[in-house]
Structure 1
Amino acid sequence: MTSILQILLLILDVAQWIILAHIIMSWLINFQVLNLRQPLVANIWDGLNRILEPIYSRVRSFLPQMGGLDLAPLIVLLAVYALRIILINNASAFL
């Protein structure tokens, strides 16, 4: 049963890195360090958006309008951290 816990923690780690990559890439695009006209950058950005936008849209549906400030990635990242803490604290249930 510990392998199930390890697999779940691995999935949360991958999700965490994907979210962080999306956040950093959005900053780099907004500050014009990266250009979406480059095919590689556009493909990576499109792939990250396709993965994360369904999750972000559900979170945005209950967040108030912040005037251009998008807190959905932060909320999702905090949820991933919270799930990780819950799994680690309840590891005895997997033994």
Structure 2
Amino acid sequence: MNALLILINEIITLYLYTLFVYVIMGLLIQFQMINNYNKIINTIFRALISIHEPLLGKIRKYIPLLSGIDLSPVIVILLLSFLKNLITDYRLGL
């Protein structure tokens, strides 16, 4: 049981890291600091979109843009951080 909780915690951590990369790449592409027509960049960004957009899209249904700023990544980070802390507290309580 303890190993399963550690695995879930690490998967959440990996998801959070890739979410940071997704947000930063999106900003860099939007400000034209990296070229989206590059095949490697485009492949990485499409993979990140397929990983993160299902969850972010569901949150965007309930939380609209705030002055053009998308807050859905912030909400996901807060929720997953809370979940990680909850798992850690439960695991240490075992």
TM-score over 0.5 (shorter chain): yes
**1:1-95 to 2 correspondences below 5 Å:** 1-92=1-92, 95=94
Percent of matched pairs sharing the same residue: 28
Q: Which shows bigger deviation, 24-33 or 12-21?
A: 24-33
User: In the alignment, is the contact (CA less than 8 A) between 1:19 and 1:52 conserved in 2?
Assistant: yes
The gaps in structure 1 that reach 5 residues or longer are none
**How many residues were matched structurally?**
94
Q: 1:26 is paired with a residue of what secondary structure?
A: helix
Cα deviation for residue 67 of structure 1 reads 3.6
TM value normalised by structure 1: 0.90
Unpaired runs of at least 5, structure 2? none
SS at match of 1:90: helix
RMSD: 1.3
- What is the CA–CA distance in structure 2 between the aligned matches of 1:36 and 1:46, rounded to whole Å? 10
1:64 maps to a residue whose letter is: P
Moved over 3 A (4+): none
